[in-house]
Amino acid sequence: MKTTHIRARDVEERWYLYDASEHVLGRMASDIAMKLMGKDRPEYTASELTGAHVVVINAPAIRLTGKKGADKEYQNYSGYPGGLHVTGIERMRERRPHEIVKVAVRRMLPKTRLGKQMLSRLKVYSNGEHPHEAQKPTKVEKLSS
């Protein structure tokens, strides 16, 4: 049996569209991470950028399960004593709703240079419009619960 090594230039570009109002945050983020890495395709190669481009619209309308709507917090530490900043999810939803999706996906990607390149293929928008109509993204229907 011969092993093939797929190069990034040999992979055709794929675009997916998620409407955040139809999905639960965690399930959507894990599905997006798999598509960005390219693990949903048989030609997956760990050392190459073979993943798809993903567009997420309606980020403020993302659904959360359980008590996460009240309890979930995002922590950021400046590195200085007393420099821990804690932001609740409701404040994030008001100020930077696109960051909720982006952070959830970023934490599921590899922590390498390739992971940063994968994250750059994720486009998150707060409203229902996006400038990527020319790429004809495939709409992803509601994920199973």
* Reported pTM: 0.91
Between CA 51 and CA 26 the distance in angstroms is: 19
**pLDDT (0 to 100) of residue 104:** 96
With a cut of 50, list the residues of the chain below it in pLDDT.
none
**Residue 97: Cβ-neighbour burial (10 angstroms; 0-12, 13-18, 19+):** buried
Q: What is the DSSP letter of 31?
A: H
User: From start to end of 49-133, where are the E strands?
Assistant: 53-57, 73-77, 84-88, 122-124
State the Cα angle at 21 between 76 and 101, rounded to 5°: 25
Q: How confident is the model at residue 114, as a pLDDT?
A: 96
pLDDT at 7: 86
Q: What is the pLDDT of residues 47-58, one digit of tens each?
A: 999 999 999 999
Selected from 3.90.1180.10, 3.30.2310.20, 3.40.50.300, 3.50.50.60, the CATH number assigned to the domain covering 12-67+97-139 reads 3.90.1180.10
Cβ atoms within 10 Å, residue 144: 5
